Structure 1
Amino acid sequence: MPDLSERPSIHKRAIVGLLSMLTLLGVFPIDVVLPSFPALSEHFRNSSSDIALSVSLFAVGIALSQLLIGPLCDALGRKKLLLIGIAVSAIGATGCVFTDNFWLFLLFRIIQALGCGCFVISQALIQDLFTGAQQQRLRIFLVTCGGIFISVSPLAGTGLQSWMGWRGSFIVFIVLAIGAFAGACLLLEGAVQGCRSRRMSLLASYRNVCGHFGFVAYWLTSAFAFSCHFSFIVISPLIFIEQLQLSQEAFSMTLLGYGLAYIGGGACATVLSNRIDSHAQIITGLGLILAAGLTMLVLFNILGLSITTVLLPMVVCTAGTTIARAAAHTQAMNIFPEQAGTSASAGSVLIFVTGGLTSAAISLSPFALPLTLALCLIAFSLLGITLNALVRHRHRALMPG
């Protein structure tokens, strides 16, 4: 697949549009069902905690599928695997629409998740089709879009719940998947093949990238930042709907306000990317997440549970997440550019497994949810800062003189 620098700007915009749609499809099936928790619980006669657990399981399913997708797309090309994945995700969503059994619903959700794992290929496509500062700007844009999509999806879910019931979100996903399938067919010409990766087995590919300390550290940093945001999204119905007794509409508008913070976070990340290096951006983002955790801890202990004591710190966390993730992504992907697919999959697996397990642990915690979430923000930000200090130290130790 040729570099887009030689293509008309309209083709570049179309590619960015396709990447945005893939980003939407990657988060839409996770968050659009949040307002449907009560309806799903009633329909399948399971608790809301079981429904929340199914969201975490979905994230883990995505991660597992990416273990295969990354190395395969390095060897076989991006387009073919992307099209297969989109088709599988649509089949899983179709199964969810027609089943009335909770265990079959979980099975089809896993099938949908396995197909959604193909959306990690978008990270490899960025590496293939864009260069230099374009990559950083596009990653900031897509991280910002992803956060906005995550936060706006519940509002869309509320409308779909009122209009079509809980099945509506899956029907819309199928329609979007068909559009993405057609876009990929038209816009992705040929196949990207990593010749080095073709000579390596799947295990050897992962051993090569995961044996690099900096690579793992940068992706773990992104995973920690993502987990803070993702855990809040997963447990938000339990806090706002069950504990604070908000209506579905009020809950969706609350998350919409949270989503708008991603626009500010993306703007800050863009400005910082032009003024400070990636390491400083990462530390700045993690510092904001730490401040958010400490703020939530203090507010919850003094004022108790309210929309303000939860949402205000999470708005600060959002800015930190956007800044840290985009910089960490770029740093990690630039280490092994010839294995872009494997690199993206290895990192995305870390992100989704960490996010899924963290959100599941928080939702099942015997302690107050805001307290547990605040401690998670503090712990993960400190771990990220420590990891990046170690990366910096090792880099300086390896420099001559």
Structure 2
Amino acid sequence: MSLTAVRPRTDAAPQTPTQRADRPRRSVVLLVFILGVLSATSSLATDLYLPAFPQIADDLNAPESQIQLTLTAVMVGLALGQLVIGPLSDQLGRRKPLLVGIAAFTATSLLCMVVQSAEVFTAVRFVQGLAAAAGMVISRAVVRDTFDGESAAKFFSRLVLLVGLAPMLGPLLGGQLLLIGPWQLIFAVLGAAGLAGFALVFFGLPESLPTGQRVRQEPKQMLRHFGRLVVDPRFIGPALTMALSFAMTFTYISAFSFVSQEEFGATPQQFSLIFGINTLGMILGNQVNAALIGRMHTTRRLLLGLAGALVSVAVLLALHLTGLSGLVSVTAVLFVMMFCTGLISPNATTLAIVSQPASSAGSASALLGTLQFAIGGTLASAAGLHGGTTMASMVLVMLVTGLAAAGVFAVTAARGHTR
């Protein structure tokens, strides 16, 4: 199979939804692979070093909350980076900003290997997040360039399946790397992943946004455009829903390394295995979502995921309050929650992105990602602010953010329906 098999539209004439969806199967598979690798590399930046949190805290002589802050720094970098790179890709095309971003990601991965303090580590991770944003925001924009409607939803489900392997395998790989070397080895692997992504894009991903469809916007125009998106309930409803539900999930991601190892006595390798099992739940949820396409409306699939996730977090709270929480019981409930997350992400993304025209897909994708990582990363850090990270603080933040996600979607969906 030639890498040049993927040929998104190259002329200036817009395609109909039928034309976009009617693509050779091997081209779609290859496009899923390339975009999946790009998005997965960004996910690895957050997940690969999770088992090393206690080790990094000891090595850099820093408190737990400060090491958790390095994860928040990546999230903020991802948020701000998407806000800039998304509109830039609407103006310059997808390939150039993507290649520059991947190159910067590779360089910062190598810099993380030589940091000597938690403060410098946090700063470098912030820049790494800025660079990693290119892969995430432009991948979604390429999908919008290429597909419409339920075809986009189906592609996003396939994409999330591949991307979901990163958070599942990332901590597992990170835990194994800690058996053969120090935590710096993890960032060497990230650098190698960046180089592989650069090669895939350079040789295998043609430009998907024709010159005639590119939109040059001045900063004031960009701000007005973002303002229009913010007041459009068809976009802001699913976007905020995704951001708040991500905060719920990201609280678990950032806190459970400490909770599992310090409260339940798990080893780094056991934590990695548990994290992988729970991520498998998200992948299974994604596949159920794909199977429901055409049988259940996108909005109903999203609501089903939100309801299931909320019930799961409520059970976690009940386990903690009754003193029945343990490594096995908590893992089982988190598995169900992550399964439901697999129904939330692709449907919220589809509702938000497809509500906008293709010419502004980069900007819409940028604001979606910015809200996701800025809100998700910031709220999740609350779990470690007072007295360190505990099971109680983790579950409390997850419950509040989950309830907020459901409430926001209920209000904005109603507004969008009456509009």
TM range (shorter): over 0.9
Q: Does 1:360 align with 2:381?
A: yes
| Preserved CA contact (<8 Å) 2:42 2:132 | yes
How far the C-alpha of 1:84 sits from its partner, in A, is 0.5
Paired with 1:368 and 1:30, the residues of 2 have a C-alpha distance of: 18
Paired with 1:207 and 1:234, the residues of 2 have a C-alpha distance of: 31
In structure 2, what is the equivalent of residue 369 of structure 1?
A: 390
Q: TM-score if structure 1 supplies the norm length? A: 0.93
**Which one-letter code corresponds to 1:165 in the other structure?**
P
1:335 equivalent among 355, 363, 379:
355
The unaligned stretches of length 5 or more in structure 1 are none
Paired with 1:320 and 1:114, the residues of 2 have a C-alpha distance of: 29
In structure 2, what is the equivalent of residue 227 of structure 1?
A: 247
**Which one-letter code corresponds to 1:382 in the other structure?**
L
How far the C-alpha of 1:59 sits from its partner, in A, is 0.9
| Preserved CA contact (<8 Å) 1:305 1:370 | no
Q: Does 1:197 align with 2:215?
A: yes
Deviations 1:176-219 (A, max 9, x none): 11111111112222351584732453323312322312211111
**Which one-letter code corresponds to 2:361 in the other structure?**
A
Deviations 1:285-340 (A, max 9, x none): 11001101111111111134411342222112112211122111101001112210
2:371 equivalent among 350, 364, 371:
350
| Preserved CA contact (<8 Å) 1:289 1:320 | yes
2:133 equivalent among 117, 124, 136:
117
| Preserved CA contact (<8 Å) 1:300 1:309 | no
In structure 1, what is the equivalent of residue 321 of structure 2?
A: 301
2:44 equivalent among 3, 16, 28:
28
In structure 1, what is the equivalent of residue 414 of structure 2?
A: 393
In structure 1, what is the equivalent of residue 308 of structure 2?
A: 288
| Preserved CA contact (<8 Å) 2:47 2:171 | yes
In structure 2, what is the equivalent of residue 50 of structure 1?
A: 66
Q: TM-score if structure 2 supplies the norm length? A: 0.89
| Preserved CA contact (<8 Å) 1:71 1:205 | no
1:148-227 aligned within 5 A: 148-190=165-207, 192=209, 195=213, 197-199=215-217, 201-227=221-247
1:243 equivalent among 263, 269, 280:
263
SS in 1 for 2:207: coil
**Which one-letter code corresponds to 2:54 in the other structure?**
P
| Preserved CA contact (<8 Å) 2:21 2:151 | no
Paired with 2:412 and 2:53, the residues of 1 have a C-alpha distance of: 42
1:95-110 aligned within 5 A: 95-110=111-126
Paired with 1:128 and 1:382, the residues of 2 have a C-alpha distance of: 33
How far the C-alpha of 1:239 sits from its partner, in A, is 0.4
**Which one-letter code corresponds to 1:84 in the other structure?**
V
2:57 equivalent among 41, 47, 53:
41
* Closer/same/farther in 2, CA of residues 107 and 279 from structure 1, 3 Å limit: same
**Which one-letter code corresponds to 2:146 in the other structure?**
L
SS in 2 for 1:182: helix
Aligned length: 398
How far the C-alpha of 1:45 sits from its partner, in A, is 1.2
State the 4+ residue runs in structure 1 displaced beyond 6 angstroms.
none
Paired with 2:98 and 2:32, the residues of 1 have a C-alpha distance of: 16
How far the C-alpha of 1:138 sits from its partner, in A, is 1.9
How far the C-alpha of 1:98 sits from its partner, in A, is 2.4
Q: Does 1:312 align with 2:332?
A: yes
How far the C-alpha of 1:170 sits from its partner, in A, is 0.9
Deviations 1:342-385 (A, max 9, x none): 00110101110112112210122448733333333333333333
| Preserved CA contact (<8 Å) 1:279 1:388 | no
Q: Does 1:323 align with 2:343?
A: yes
SS in 2 for 1:173: helix
Paired with 1:175 and 1:112, the residues of 2 have a C-alpha distance of: 14
SS in 2 for 1:198: coil
Paired with 1:277 and 1:346, the residues of 2 have a C-alpha distance of: 24
Q: Does 1:12 align with 2:33?
A: no
SS in 1 for 2:295: coil
| Preserved CA contact (<8 Å) 1:75 1:194 | no
Is 37-46 or 86-95 further displaced after alignment?
A: 37-46
Paired with 1:220 and 1:230, the residues of 2 have a C-alpha distance of: 15
How far the C-alpha of 1:226 sits from its partner, in A, is 1.5
* Closer/same/farther in 2, CA of residues 94 and 282 from structure 1, 3 Å limit: same
* Closer/same/farther in 2, CA of residues 194 and 31 from structure 1, 3 Å limit: farther
| Preserved CA contact (<8 Å) 2:260 2:266 | yes
SS in 1 for 2:215: helix
| Preserved CA contact (<8 Å) 2:239 2:348 | yes
Paired with 2:151 and 2:313, the residues of 1 have a C-alpha distance of: 32
| Preserved CA contact (<8 Å) 1:292 1:377 | no
Paired with 2:32 and 2:389, the residues of 1 have a C-alpha distance of: 41
What root-mean-square deviation, in Å, do the aligned CA atoms of Structure 1 and Structure 2 show? 2.1
* Closer/same/farther in 2, CA of residues 395 and 359 from structure 1, 3 Å limit: closer
Is 23-32 or 38-47 further displaced after alignment?
A: 38-47
**Which one-letter code corresponds to 1:76 in the other structure?**
L
| Preserved CA contact (<8 Å) 2:65 2:384 | yes
The unaligned stretches of length 5 or more in structure 2 are 1-7, 10-18
Is 126-135 or 287-296 further displaced after alignment?
A: 126-135
In structure 2, what is the equivalent of residue 59 of structure 1?
A: 75
